[in-house]
Every structure is written in C-alpha cells, then in structure tokens.
C-alpha cells in the first residue's frame, strides 16, 4: 500500500454481474466451468507480481432466490449457503478459495444492487470464512468494498476505480444510508427496519419474479425499464396493479435522457426535470399507455381533443375518485362487467381489456415479437457494440474525477471499451457472465413459431432454461435454432515494461487437441 493509503498492484482483473442464484431451471448463470478456469488462470500467473481479482457487483443474486423479498437480511446467511452449495455455482466458490490461498493475490468484493445483503456483517463474514477456510494469510487477501463506494487502486502509476454502475441508474440506486442502518440494526439483534426498495428491485420482486415462474427467459433481457414492463404486461396483464409506482421513476429516466441528449449534465437538470415531471395532475395510466405505444411502435392511443394527460376516463365514466391505476388494481383478476352511471349497458373494464385496447388487439406472441425485434434493432445500432457510448458511460464519465485513468463498471450487462471524455483515461464495462438471448430468429415466421414454442413450453420443468441453450433437446426439429449466446467479459489493467495496459477480453470455448472442450482468451480492445 502506498503512503497515501491507495492499494498498489501489478495487475488487476475484473468481472461483474455473475448473478449466482436461483432455483434449478431458473438460473441465468451457467458458466461455472469457464469462470473457474478464468479465476485459476489469473491466480496461476507470475508469482512475483501482486495480482488482484475484483468481483465488481451483483456477485450473487438474492432477488433471484425462491421466495425473495426486497431485503432478506434475516435469512441471507442461509440463502448464501444454499447458493454456495449449489452444483451450478460451487465450482466458482472453489476457484475463489484456490485464488485467495495463493500468496501475492488479492480478492476484492464490490457491492451491486442484487446482492445488497452482502453488506450485512454476518453475511459477508460467512462468505469470507468459507473462502479462506481458517487460513489467516488468505483472510488478509480478501478485501471487502461492500459500502457502495467502490474499489480504488494504483497500477503502474495509473489510478484505477471500480464501481458497479447502479450509482448513476435512478431505477436501481441503493439508499446507502438506509442500508447502513439496516445492517446496524441486524448486527445489534434488532429487527431490520422496513425496507424501501429502489424501483428496479420492486420491478423484480413485484412483477418479474411472478412472470418468471412461467417465462424464466425474461430475466435474460437487460434493457431500460420500458421493455421489462411491456413484456410483463404482455405475458400477464394483471401485473398492471404493481406497475403504477414505477412510472414516475421511469418517466424521470426518459426526461433525463432527453435532456442529456441536449448536452446538459445530470446536476444541471434536477430543478428543470422536477418542473417537467411535476406539471400538474398527471394520469399515470395515460403515461404508461404512451410508453407502451412507443415500445410497440404504435401510434399513441387517441385522446379527447384538448384533454391530453389530464383526461381521467375512469372518474368521468364511473365516478370513482381513485387514480386509474389504483382503480384497475382494485379490479385486477376480475375483468368483470361494470355498469357505467346512468346506463344499463355493461362496460368491460379490467387489466386484460385495457391491455387489448392499448395493443390494438395484437396477440401475445405478436406483442412479444415486436418488443424483442425492437430490442434487437436497437442492439444492431450499437447497444451490443463495445465501442458505442451509453447512458451509464456518460454519467459515470461526467461524475468521476478526470484524474481516474481507468474507470471500470458493470451493471448494464453490455461490455464497453471507450476513451473517457473527461480526462485522458479509459472506461471499461465488464458486461455479464449470464446467458444472453440471441434473437436472430425473430424475422423468420417458421423460426419464430418454433422459438415461441420453446419460450412457452420448452422452459417448463424439468428442462427450464436449459431448453434455451439447446432447443433440440426439447424437440429434435428445433436443433438449428440458436437462442442463447455467452460473452464472458473480463477487464484487466496491467503494468508492463512498455507502460500500463488496459484490456477488455472475452473467454471463448474451443476444442482442445484431444477433442475435449477448453477455454481461451480473445482480446476485444486494448489501450
């Protein structure tokens, strides 16, 4: 460690967004052999060099576990032990044990937004005890950065900062003060105070987890808020009752994004954005309809002339004082016939009827296909390109001091390697190691029909998500459909005789000389 307290390393390797967790059949991570090979390879490098490995957030996924809650402080130790003992994940923990057992190695754990329970002392202590196996030297080689501030180090004179990335995502930002108080209360033996989750956690627990029981593949998409909300409503319109509280946060993201496109920094738009969002009575249901129409590439649903967002058809028709979303929540699951005041004609009003109106009567497969096609088209325009700036890059780049030479993040599930706009350094995003959905089957009618069969029926027990990896196991005639891809991204910063080098590389599967499956690195970008 340097005199100013910054850890000095010869090289650092970073991975993120492993999302270890979930019941068999619903696990989005299935790359334990590849990740264990990568950890062992990093650990076995030059013994004379001080080498770090940083797991940069969302290491485990408490939100993916059966019966998950917003904040599982009381049961997190037992949940972590279950994840650790799961054969799908145990090779990763075994490799981490081997890594910290080696001298001159450093394992760094950074907090994400799906693993906030790791900040509770009893929980991270349980993990450290398992990884170090009573070896005091190994224990000294585990550094915990579970307070939400990230990890900073120095390599070859270059300043390196690792943060998860949710810090600049208004949908997934964690209240660190509340997290600290909850950890303190649990440690003192008191019940954890009621947890107020971020909008992203609410979306997962209140909406997506129920949908995932039938359609586990929705967890493989990492878009902005519009797509998961639209998909959830397409697959189960009764989830409308949980969506209302997400709209203000989601709308804020739209406003912020539009203003950033005009060149305004986040700190400069707060007051202006508040004024735009707080424009008087706003019908959140109409806001949601506008968002969904955009997501589906449909014209906005017709409004009464001059009424715009102030239109409140439910209050006018039924004399019900509740906001429309609350009213529909009241009717969720019944979709019954209601009588409008002063009329004997039944008026159907319920989540399913509302969804049919918004989507102009499109069938569920048609809606899903339109949503996924738009997602893919945006990807082809740059979402999946490592060299395309995105919102997370722009916000982190603006907020982090230009003196940071290498800024490393995760969270987006999209790997990146970009020159910083502020300062002389680099920004690298390590993407994810979970399954990612391949959507090349969207434009062919026959391929889509077969893929939809897999998405609806192949993912049912006992196959679960494995049906996506190999549709031919579900039905032999589907063997030619490719539905899943793996990126397996790693960032590294290394001091060399020629200077400090920053790299983004991926781990690829290949065939060894003896025809067995092996792994190798492929460089994507290098400074």
Average pLDDT, the chain: 83
Question: What's 224's DSSP letter?
Answer: -
Structure confidence at residue 257 (pLDDT):
47
- Give the mean pLDDT of 479-503: 95
Q: Is the pLDDT of residue 26 over 70?
A: yes
Cβ atoms of 324 and 284 within 8 Å: the answer is yes
Whether residue 70 is predicted with pLDDT greater than 70 in this model: the reply is yes
Task: Report how far residue 380's alpha carbon sits from residue 110's, in angstroms, rounded to the nearest whole number.
Answer: 31
pLDDT at 266 over 50: no
CB 405 within 8 A of CB 425: yes
pLDDT value at residue 410: 97
Provide the pLDDT confidence category of residue 383 given band limits of 50, 70 and 90.
low
The band of 458, judged by pLDDT with boundaries at 50, 70 and 90, is very high
For residue 222, name the pLDDT band (cuts at 50, 70, 90): low
The angle at the Cα of 133, spanning 132 to 137, to the nearest 5 degrees, equals 50
pLDDT of residue 272: 44
Lowest mean pLDDT among 239-243, 346-350, 475-479, 511-515: 346-350
Q: Which of 461, 481, 400, 470 is nearest to 435 (CA)?
A: 470
User: What sign does the CA torsion over 71, 240, 438, 164 have?
Assistant: negative
**In sequence order, what DSSP letters do the residues of 97-165 get, joined into one string?**
HHHHTSTTEEEEEE--SS-GGGGSHHHHHHHHHHHHTT-HHHHHTEEEE-SSS-EEEEETTEEEEE--S
Could you give the 3-state DSSP secondary structure of residue 339? Answer: strand
Residues 47-59 have pLDDT tens digits of 999 999 999 999 9
Beta bridge partners of residue 419, listed in sequence order: 426
Residue 6, token pair as written in the block: 């910054």
Q: Can you tell me which residue has the tokens 């460089």?
A: 523
Confidence of residue 342 (pLDDT cuts 50, 70, 90): very low
pLDDT digits (tens, 9 = 90+) for 33-46: 999 999 999 999 99
Neighbours of 453 (CB within 10 A): 16
> What confidence score (pLDDT) does residue 359 get?
82
Q: What is the pLDDT of residues 145-184, one digit of tens each?
A: 999 999 999 999 999 999 999 999 988 989 999 999 999 9
Among 463, 184, 207, 492, smallest CA distance to 329 is for 207
pLDDT level of residue 233 (50, 70, 90 thresholds): confident
pLDDT of residue 145: 97
User: At residue 332, what are phi and psi to the nearest 5 degrees?
Assistant: -55, 135
């Amino acid at each position: 460690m340097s005199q100013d307290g910054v850890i000095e390393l010869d090289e650092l390797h970073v991975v993120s967004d492993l999302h270890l967790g979930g019941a068999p059949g619903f696990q989005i991570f299935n790359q334990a052999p590849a990740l264990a090979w990568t950890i062992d390879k990093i650990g076995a490098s030059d013994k004379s060099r001080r080498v770090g490995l940083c797991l940069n957030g969302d290491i485990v996924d408490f939100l993916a576990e059966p019966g998950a809650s917003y904040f599982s402080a009381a049961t997190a130790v037992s949940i972590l032990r279950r994840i650790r003992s799961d054969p799908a994940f145990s090779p990763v923990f075994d490799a981490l044990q081997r890594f910290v057992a080696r001298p001159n190695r450093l394992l760094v754990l950074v907090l994400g937004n799906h693993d906030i329970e790791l900040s509770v002392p009893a929980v991270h202590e349980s993990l450290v005890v398992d990884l170090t196996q009573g070896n005091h030297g190994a224990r000294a080689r585990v550094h915990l950065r579970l307070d939400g501030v990230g990890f900073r180090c120095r390599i070859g004179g270059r300043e390196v900062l690792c943060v998860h990335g949710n810090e600049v995502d208004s949908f997934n930002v964690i209240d660190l003060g509340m997290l600290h108080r909850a950890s303190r209360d649990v440690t003192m033996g008191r019940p954890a105070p009621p947890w107020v989750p971020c909008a992203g956690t609410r979306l997962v627990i209140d909406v997506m987890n129920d949908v995932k029981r039938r359609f586990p593949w929705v967890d493989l998409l990492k878009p902005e808020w519009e797509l998961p909300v639209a998909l959830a409503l397409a697959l189960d319109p009764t989830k409308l009752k949980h969506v209302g509280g997400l709209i203000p946060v989601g709308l804020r993201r739209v406003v912020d994004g539009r203003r950033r496109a005009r060149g305004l920094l986040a700190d400069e738009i707060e007051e202006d954005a508040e004024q735009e969002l707080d424009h008087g009575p706003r019908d959140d249901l109409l806001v949601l309809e506008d968002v969904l129409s955009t997501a589906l590439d449909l014209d906005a649903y017709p409004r009464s002339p001059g009424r715009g967002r102030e239109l409140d058809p439910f209050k006018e028709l039924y004399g019900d004082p509740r906001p429309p979303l609350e009213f529909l929540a009241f009717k969720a699951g019944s979709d019954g016939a209601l009588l409008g005041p002063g009329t004997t004609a039944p008026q159907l009003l319920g989540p399913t009827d509302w969804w049919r109106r918004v989507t102009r009567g499109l069938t569920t497969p048609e809606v899903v296909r339109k949503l996924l096609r738009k997602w893919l088209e945006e990807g082809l325009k740059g979402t999946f390109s490592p060299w395309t700036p995105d919102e997370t890059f722009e916000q982190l780049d603006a907020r982090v001091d230009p003196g940071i030479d290498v800024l490393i993040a995760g969270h987006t599930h999209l790997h990146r390697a970009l020159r910083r706009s502020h300062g002389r350094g680099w920004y690298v995003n390590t993407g994810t190691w979970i399954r990612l959905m391949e959507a090349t089957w969207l434009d062919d009618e026959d391929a889509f029909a077969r893929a939809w069969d897999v998405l609806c029926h192949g993912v049912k027990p006992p196959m679960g998500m494995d049906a996506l990896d190999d549709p031919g196991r579900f039905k032999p005639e589907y063997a030619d459909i490719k539905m899943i891809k793996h990126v397996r991204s790693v960032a590294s910063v290394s001091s060399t005789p020629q200077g400090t080098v920053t790299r983004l590389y991926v781990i690829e599967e290949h065939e060894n000389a003896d025809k067995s499956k092996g792994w190798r690195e492929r460089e994507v970008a290098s400074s």
